[in-house]
Structure 1
Amino acid sequence: MITSSPVGEWSWEPRAKDAEFRHGHAAQTATDLWRRLAEPGLARPGGKAGVRVSHRNDPRDRVVIRIDCPGTWLEPGGTYRAEKLFAVQVEVWGGTLLVATLETYSDAWLTRDTRGREQPEVYALNAPRLAAALDGISALLGGPPEPGEENRYAAPSTTGFRDVRAEGPAYDDAWGTFETLDRTRLLDSRLPRSEDDYEQIADGPVRYVAVRRDDRTLGFVWAAVDDSAAGYVPRTAAGDEAFDAGAAWVTVLREARRSGLTPLAALRDAVRRPAPPEAGVIAQGGPAEAPSLDALEELSGRY
C-alpha cells in the first residue's frame, strides 16, 4: 500500500570533512542520496525538488533541500511505480550541522502490509533493496542511520523495519484507519469549503470510472449503487496529480448536486461532460463495479 504520510524514516548527522558545512553541501548530499536510492531502482528520474534558504538576517542560517523521489517496488505479478516512493531531505544549520533524512511512503519493505496482512513474497523482493540503499547511504555519510520512532504504520530499524509478526502491529488496519483521513485532508486543502458535497460513506457496492492522464490512472469517480453517496478516490501512487485532478472532479460533483442530480446521475453526467484540463479524462468504457467503497479504496492505494 502507498501512503500519504511516511511509513518510516531514517536520519544521519555526518561530521564535516572541512572546517564547516557550506550550503552547497546540502545540494551535493541530497544528490548523492538520490543516487544511492537509484542504484537498486528505488529512485527514478522525474521527481520534484524544493529549496528553502533562511533570510540573510535570520541567525539560524538554515538551508533545506527536499526531493520527492519516484521509484518502483516489486510484486510477484510485476513492477509498480509510485511518484513519491521516497523523499530525501537535507538540512544545513549554521555551517556546523548537516542532517540527512530519508522517508518512505510504501509498505513493500514490511513483513505485514499496512492493513495487517502478511506479505512474504513482496517482503522478500523488496526488503533487501531497502537494506542495500541504507547501507550505501551509511557508507557515504560515515555511520549507520538513526531510525525514526515507531509510528502508526511500522517500526523502523537500522536495516529497514522491525518484524512485528510475533507481537502484532500497532493497528490491525492502520491504512484503512488513517490513510482515508490523510487523503481527505489533502483533497480538502485544494478546495473551498462547501455544503454541496454528496454523502461520502457508502455501505454497499459502488460504481466507478477511472480518471486518467496519458498512460496513468489518477483516481476514481464513484457513486453508490443504492444512489446514496458519491465522491472521488485518489490513486495515491500517482502523487500530487491525483489530488489536483480530484479537486476538479469534486467541483464537478458539487455542481451536479446543486443542479439536483442524484449520485448515480452525477456519475453518468461526469462521464458525458468535457473535463477541465487539470482533471484528466474519464477512461473509455462503462462504469465498473466494486463490492464496497473499501474495495475501491484498496485498489486506489495498492497500485
Structure 2
Amino acid sequence: MGGASGPEPQYLVTAPGPVRYVEVTYRGEVIGCLWASVKYDAAGYVRRLEAEPPEAFRAPLVWSRRLRAAKAEGLPALEALRRWRGAPEDPEGGTVVADAPERDADSYDALKKQLNPGHVDPMADFFAQTPTWPDGTPIDRSKGWDPLSPMKIPETDYPASTDGPVRYLPVTRGDTLLGYLWASAADDAAYYVGRTDAGADGWNAGVPWVLRLRRAQREGLTPLQALRRWKGAPEDPRAGTIAVDAHEQEASSLDDLKRLAQR
C-alpha cells in the first residue's frame, strides 16, 4: 500500500450539474442510489439513511469497490452506472434490478436531499466556507494576496500538534493508504496526516476524520480513545477506514510521522 505507483484511478466523488441515477435495493427495499454525472467523469453511491437492513451500512463499501474496478477498466461514468444492472443481489451491496429506470436529478446535492429529506450534512458548514490557507488567506486570489501556504483542513478541539511521541493508525481505502490518524501518548493532541503519494484523496479524507475527532472530543473521549474508536468501522467512500486488524504504532515525534507520510 502507498507504493510508488500512486493512488489508483477513480471517478470524481462529486461534480456540478445534473446527475443520472438508479435505485439500489436489498430484498425489495431501496437502500441507496448509484449515480453518475451527465457531463463529468464522476460517479458514486448515496445511502438512504432510513433503510432498515444492516446491509445498508455496508453497501457503500461494496459500490465503492465496484466503481474503482469500473474506472480501472476505463469505463465512462455513465457506463459504470449500467454495469451491474440485473446482476445477482450482493449479500451486502444489494442489486440494481434489470428493469430499474434511470432517472435524472438536478445535481448531486439534489439527489442526496431527495433520498434523505430533512437530513443535514455535518460537513456542509465547512464546505460553505470560503476555502483558505492556514494563515486565513482566501484561495480565491481576488479576495486576498497574502503569501501562499498549504491548504487548511478544519480544526478540532484537540490540539493539532505535540512535542512528544504519537500513536497512529493507517487510514486506507481499498488498497490505497490515504494517511494516518494519530493521537499523543502524553497530552491532549490528535489529528490526521495525509500521505503525499495519495494526492488530493489523502487530503480529502482528512476532512471527515477531523469532524469525527470533533465529535469524539465533545463526547469526552481522550485522544487515544478517539484514535481507536473507528477501528473496524465500514469503509467510507471519502474517509476510507481503519481496518479492524490495523496495527497501532508509535512514532517518536509528530515530525517523524509527517516524514513517514512523505515517503
Give the TM-score taking structure 2 as reference length.
0.42
Q: How does the TM-score come out when normalised to structure 1? A: 0.37
